[in-house]
Amino acid sequence: MSLRPCRGLLVASILAIAPAALRGEIPADLHLAPFISSGLDDPLAIRSPRDGSGRLFVVERGGTIRVVVNGVLLPTPYYSRAVDTSDVERGLLGLAFDPDFRTNGTFYIVYTGSGANGEILRRLVAANPAANVFAGSDNEVMRIPLFYNHNGGDIHFGLDGFLYWSTGSGTGSFDPNDLAQHLWKKTISNTTYYLMGKVLRLDVRNTTPAAAANLCGASAGQPAPYAIPPGNPFAGVANHCAEIWAWGFRNPWRISIDRENGDLWIGDVGEGSWEEISRRAAGDSGNRNYGYPQCEGNHPGRPSGPGANCPATTGTVAPVMEYSHANNRCSVTGGARYRGPIAPFRGHYVFADACSSELFIGTEGAGGSWTFITRASGIAPGYGTLSGFGEGENGDLYAVDHQNGRVWRFESATSDPVFSNGFDP
């Protein structure tokens, strides 16, 4: 993911989707409506605490979290901290609310620290969960080392109650140190790297009295402020980091959890020519290697890679959708499977390209195969436009435009009034 902080005017965005598209499932009047048009500085993500308040929280890359109440952006920040923004892929990157935030006030952030401080996961506990300005405790959970960019940095709670955290491989062209494939610690130029190019799965609601040697984010024998969930593939396996859930990614910039079935969706930003979307079904205990750097989507990655039959020759997991860098495309923004009030739209997976500003609408076909159509968003092409998606409490889907500092909402006259009035599926 690459982002350039700048500003520009946007016109109202309309998705002119024909009724016949996707078997007639997409309403003809589906469009992106302005939601927040001013007052935001480099927004990257939007999240709902799902606490019954209807509030939305917007992450600004510079280190601030803002609150939206009844469609109005409050002037006073909810929370701020110093973060490293020396590169456009650094800053405050992720926000996830504990499923019981309403009662325990707990949420988590991921950000990049200055210099070599790495990518850091923190736990915050609000003294008053209903307050619109944070006051409470703020503690580090763990950190991973970084290169300069390709950092990932998204976090979400799964339906299993565990925290999923995407991390980038962070290295040069096609990961010359193979960190995305490395399942243990690796020392490069006197720095030890670990947990890079992965999706991690953590039990942040429990602690570990004495960390095992394979808790890579903790000191062996010392207390750790998190635990390893049962089912992690390397729990108890020597010389393999127990935090790992899946691996073989370049820069899984934005991930999401399907609120209906718990599936994990991963948008992995490509390098050579291809961008990819991967899906890991909830409960799938099979192959967890998604191929990078040997593969890029269904294609050879590293020039000295396996050849034309990737990923078959590598035995890795293929993406469910991919697209090339044609037509000004350069950086996929992973989205969400729509479960909100627009009934004909439900079940489709929505994602975007942060350079062409195109929207992609994926649909599942027979046998679990996926195809997509593209539609113009109405947002001018740029370099870091559509940077993230987020769901409201009732499943409304929002798109965040980092470059222009705006938030948009998908709307249609076909919305189900039960959902629109606050029903949370």
In a domain? residue 3: no
So what's the pLDDT on residue 415? 81
Reading the chain (425 residues) residue by residue, the pLDDT tens digits are 444 333 333 323 333 333 333 334 788 888 899 999 999 999 999 999 999 999 999 999 999 999 999 999 999 999 999 999 988 889 999 999 999 999 999 999 999 998 778 999 999 999 999 999 999 999 999 999 988 788 999 999 999 999 999 999 988 889 999 999 999 999 999 999 999 999 999 999 999 999 999 999 999 999 999 999 999 999 999 999 999 999 999 999 999 999 999 999 999 999 989 999 999 999 999 999 999 999 999 999 988 767 678 898 899 999 999 999 999 999 999 999 999 999 999 999 999 999 999 999 999 998 899 999 998 899 999 999 999 999 999 999 999 999 999 999 999 998 876 555 444 43
Give residues with Cβ within 8 angstroms of 222, minimum separation 6.
210, 211
CATH label of the domain that carries residue 137: 2.120.10.30
Number of domains in the chain: 1
Whole-structure pTM value: 0.93
Supply the pLDDT for residue 422. Answer: 47
Is 2 part of any domain? Answer: no
In angstroms, what is the C-alpha Rg of the chain?
A: 20
In this prediction, residue 20 carries a pLDDT of 32
In a domain? residue 7: no
Phi, psi of 233 (to 5 degrees): -65, -25
* Cα–Cα distance list, 179 to 189, 211, 302, 352, 396 (Å): 14, 23, 13, 27, 37
d(CA 254, CA 389): 8
Q: Is residue 392 part of a domain?
A: yes
Range of 191's domain?
A: 13-420
SS3 content of the chain, % helix, strand, coil (to 5): 5, 35, 60
Asked if residue 27 is part of any domain, the answer here is yes
Beta strand segments in 113-202, E: 119-126, 136-144, 152-157, 163-167, 186-188, 191-193, 198-202
Indicate whether 93 belongs to any domain.
yes
Q: Is residue 83 part of a domain?
A: yes
- The sign one gets for the Cα dihedral 323, 355, 13, 31 is positive
Q: Please check whether residue 5 lies inside any domain of the structure.
A: no
Q: Measuring CA to CA, which residue among 383, 379, 382 is closest to residue 408?
A: 379
Q: Encoding tokens for residue 195?
A: 């947990």
